[in-house]
Structure 1
Amino acid sequence: MPIGAETVRAVEELFAQRVREERSPGSAWALFDRDGVAAAGGLGAARLAEARTGDESPVDGQRADAASDAGALASDADVLFRVASCTKSFTAAALLLLRDRGAVDLDAPVRAFVPEFAPEVPGGLDAPVSVRMLMTMSGGLPTDDAWADREESMTRDAFRRVLAAGIRCVTVPGTAYEYSNVGYALLGQVVEAVSGDGYAEFVERELIAPLGLDARFAAPTGDSPAVAIGYRRGPDGWIGLQFTGPGVFSAIGGVFASARSLAAWAGWLASGWRGDEAGPLSAASRRELQQLHRVAPPRSPAPDDPTPMPAPLVHGYGYGLVVEHDARFGPVLSHSGGYPGFSAHMRWHAASGLGVVALENATYAKVSRGAEAALERLLLDADAVESLRTPIVPWPETLRVAEGLGRLAVEWSDAAADELLATNVALDLPYAERRAAIDSAWDAVGGRAGERATAEDVTCDSPDHLVWFLRGAAGRLRLETRLTPLVGGRAQTFIVAVEGADPQG
């Protein structure tokens, strides 16, 4: 279903309010559906002409245009922002691409590719860290955002020296969730070892270019394409920050992308749910990327958030993506990005393909809150809600068998039962006992209403599973069946119980 104009205006106002509240100088956003980017825009300033330059030192001699040497630039959906940890989805996709080509085993130890990586494990256990463990944030390494976000430009040799000097785990690898940037820096090194290319070059050539994305790892110089400057709040206003990178830690958060292009990337990942084989990575691998591979501990709402979103039923990490199971909407995929000068979030709903991308140019501005509210608005929109209500259609065999079982419940026949029921049913409860239980259930609802009782309130939550009701003289019976997975259509379960009673059998 198309995203309505009123919904687009409401989403734009969400981000406009954040700019008015001076959470960030500028903001860029994009909405997408199954047909691509549906709406996009920008608010505020991607560059402030009056801001002063901070005293942060460039790393490894790298320096891009700071706010003081660039003119004012309005934000829009085509200006490049640092997308920070949204980059991790590119890193994970690169590894799946190499896996699909037979170049890497995700269960191989990371040390096979990076020999200097030999972390201390609690209890001194021998627990090698695999590529898959790092992809799912279960490699045992500690959370390291504050430090790692400043290390992007670290060279390969310097990184190897850091590892050789010693690194330690906080949990036994493969046993618990713990968000680790070092883990994804290591994965970037695995990409290099396996592909023979630099990490950034591989991702740009194999993923970004084939999809036609306006994205890159090095900050563009000059004004073409336009790039936002990142800021932090100082005592006298916004302070422009220098760009870093690229380097070993680019694999954790080094991508520059426009809101429009990041939305195209997220929409392409989401298209795997409907079997779209366009692009360099198969639909099956994109679905694998979006599965919940490691459950994370429950989240508590931020103490300064006056209107927190409902907590997901369960959440955790896939491959380079956060996976949430929302009680209202089902699976939602996302990733946030926080970097000196930037905040990013991409978020989409698996079943409908509806999603949002939001970018801001202020340090850890938590634009995720705006994006969460925006996606909720999309999903609560009247048109959007209809798109979520794709009915589950029972197999024709399920309907045929259920009709026969309804007749069997009214008038039992061993011969008819043999035609409808799988071999396990009589073994689980012999026909004589089953027939007696059905007769007892009819007695509890005042007896049979007729030889051809009409099915009522039929529900289906899977093509092989039906629940329905038959009315007696003084109540109803609840009937339930589930077919075997074999073609041909036979019931492996047949339950008849008084409505409201605990179903047995």
Structure 2
Amino acid sequence: MTAPTDTGPHTQTGHPPRRRILPVVIAASVALALLLITPFPRGFQGEVTGDPALMDAAAEALGSGHWNHLAVVRVNGDTVTEAGTGADGRTQFEIGSITKTFTAALFADAIERGEVEESTRLGEVWPELDGDVAEVTLGAIATQRSGLPRQEPAPSVGDGLATVLAGYLHTDPYRGDVTDLVRALDKVDVSDTEPEYSNFGFAVLGQALAEVAGRSYADLIRERITQPLGMDDTFVPSSAKGLSHGLTSSGLPAAPWTLGASAPAGAIRSTPRDMAIWLQATMAGTAPGAAASEPREDFDETDRIGWAWMTTTNRTPNITWHNGGTGGYRSFLGFDRGSGTGIIVLSDSANSVDKAIDLISEKAAGRAAERAAGQAMPGSRSAAEKGQSR
């Protein structure tokens, strides 16, 4: 909206007094700051699609916040229920670190193919490596106890500053090719093998599997997972051109992330419908590398870890899960092995959706059923209905 044009006579010439300029500048600065901090309203945006009861249950679990578009899928055995606000089953999202569950599946599948073993060392994959890092095994990386740091070390001060700047500009902070990734391994200290979540580690794992197979990571995902399962809308992007973008937690546009050589840690794009296929096949044990989801080691006080997948130990039922986050997207995927019930939540704004874990229970299903039966309080609007207003 533009300001109205002043066509009346000017009664003052020259510059306005300084005392008038300062309040205007301050007011304009405050207004701009408020716009940048909160440029879109709280609550879910867009028309509700699919099952309104499921959307309502998700809204209750996630709580109020600055949301944009969101998709929810509940899987109960062979039954799949979809819901969303401003999104449907074919809407594309960045799934962030849920990508690691695909990389872990490639690892399990490569073991079944005889290409690698849990004990395969990085020095066997890349003979140019030496020292302690060459002795790190793929199995240790897959269970997040390799000693590799959370992020790839910056090759120079300039690269480090560029990564920091990317955070402020909401652009992809990951760059570099596989050669850069392998060179970075020479810079790390891997003496501490206590469990530590490492994006760098899973980037290395995925590229190691690609190196052994003689294929690119994107090709492995397509040939060994998405094509066999019919996940036609799931892929590893090679460039950001033409990709949709998400929003920061305050609603600013965030550039798409492709992650370069770090793609195995978080670059996959998918849809709610495809992720339902992934969830069902993993729960049923029919997905390539489905064994990756089985817990193998203690990770911390509340979780055990398989290859990438976490399994809670502090709640009933225990939930096997992973979440994800990029500059403009958040995601959660979890399931209860006992009941065969799972949930997927994908959001194109950077607000946590981890509370979706509470939807994997009979209690949550019961609340959703009550709403579907129209048992909400008279005169009230559900959280999902409120989310339809912009």
**Normalization by structure 1: what TM-score?**
0.55
Give me the whole-angstrom Cα distance separating, in 2, the residues matched to 1:181 and 1:9.
36
Asked whether the 8 Å contact 1:292–1:315 carries over to 2, the reply is no
> Which residue does 1:202 correspond to in 2?
220
Alignment partner, residue 110 of structure 2: 98
Query: 1:211 maps to which residue?
Result: 229
In the alignment, which of 247, 270, 278 is matched to residue 231 of structure 1?
Answer: 247
2:70 alignment partner in structure 1: 27
Question: Offset at 1:115?
Answer: 4.0
User: How far does residue 152 in structure 1 lie from its aligned partner after superposition?
Assistant: 3.8
Match of residue 100, structure 2, among 78, 88, 97: 88
The one-letter code matched in structure 1 to 2:55 is E
1:360 matched to 2:372? The reply is: no
Specify the alignment match of 1:142 in structure 2.
Answer: 149
Structure 2 residue aligned with 1:295: 298
Is 1:188 matched with 2:188? no
The CA RMSD over aligned residues, in Å, is 3.0
Which residue in the other structure is 2:126 paired with? 114
Partner in structure 2 of residue 171 of structure 1: 192
Tell me whether 76-85 or 12-21 shows the greater mean CA deviation.
12-21
Contact 1:83 1:343 in 2 (8 A): yes
Deviation, 1:83, is 0.3
The answer to whether the 8 Å contact 1:109/1:129 transfers is yes
| Structure 2 contact 311–321 (Cα < 8 Å) conserved | yes
Matched with 1:133 is 140
Q: What is residue 62 of structure 1 aligned with on the other side?
A: none
**Displacement, 1:291?**
2.1
* Unmatched 5+ stretches in structure 2: 1-50, 153-162, 370-390
* Distance (whole Å) between structure 1 residues aligned to residue 344 and residue 126 of structure 2: 34
The equivalent of 1:374 in structure 2 is 359
Output the CA distance in 2 between the equivalents of 1:316 and 1:167.
26
TM-score by length of 2: 0.70
Are residues 1:340 and 2:353 paired?
A: no
Q: Which amino acid aligns with 1:322?
A: M
What is the SS of the residue equivalent to 1:249?
A: helix
* Amino acid of the structure 1 residue aligned with 2:200: V
Give 3-state SS (helix, strand or coil) of 2:210's partner. Answer: helix
Residues 117/265 of structure 1: CA separation in 2 closer, same or farther (3 Å cut): farther
| Kept after mapping to 2: 8 A contact 1:80/1:258 | yes
- 1:40 pairs, out of 77, 82, 99, with 82
**Residue pair 2:54, 2:83 contacting (<8 A) in 1 also:** no
Find the residue that maps to 1:11 and give its secondary structure.
helix
Contact 2:100 2:265 in 1 (8 A): yes
2:321–2:332: 8 Å Cα contact kept in structure 1? yes
Contact map agreement 2:96 2:330 (CA 8 A) in 1: yes
Q: Letter of the aligned partner of 1:290 in structure 2?
A: S
One-letter amino acid matched to 2:361:
E
Structure 2 contact 106–221 (Cα < 8 Å) conserved: yes
3-state SS, counterpart of residue 344 of structure 2: strand
Bigger strand share: 1
Contact 1:113 1:190 (8 Å CA) reproduced: yes
Is 1:243 aligned with 2:256? yes
How many residues end up aligned between the 2 structures? 302
Determine helix, strand or coil for the equivalent of 2:360.
helix
Q: Does 1:316 align with 2:332?
A: no
Partner residue, 1:160: 182
CA distance in 2, matches of 1:140, 1:114: 18
Q: Percent identity?
A: 22
Distance 1:321 1:140 in 2: 18
Distance, in Å, in 1 between the alignment partners of 2:325 and 2:207 is 22
Alignment-mate amino acid for residue 373 of structure 1: D
Whether the 8 Å CA contact 1:83–1:344 is kept in 2: the answer is: yes
Change (3 A) 1:346 1:20: closer
Match of 1:253 among 266, 275, 283: 266
Higher relative contact order (CA 8 A, sep 6+): 2
Deviation at 1:153, TM superposition (A): 3.9
Which has the greater radius of gyration? 1
Equivalent residue of 1:216, what SS?
A: coil
What's the offset of the Cα at 1:326?
A: 5.0
Give distance in 1, aligned partners of 2:180 and 2:92: 29
1:438-482 per-residue CA deviation (whole Å, 9 max, x = no partner) reads xxxxxxxxxxxxxxxxxxxxxxxxxxxxxxxxxxxxxxxxxxxxx
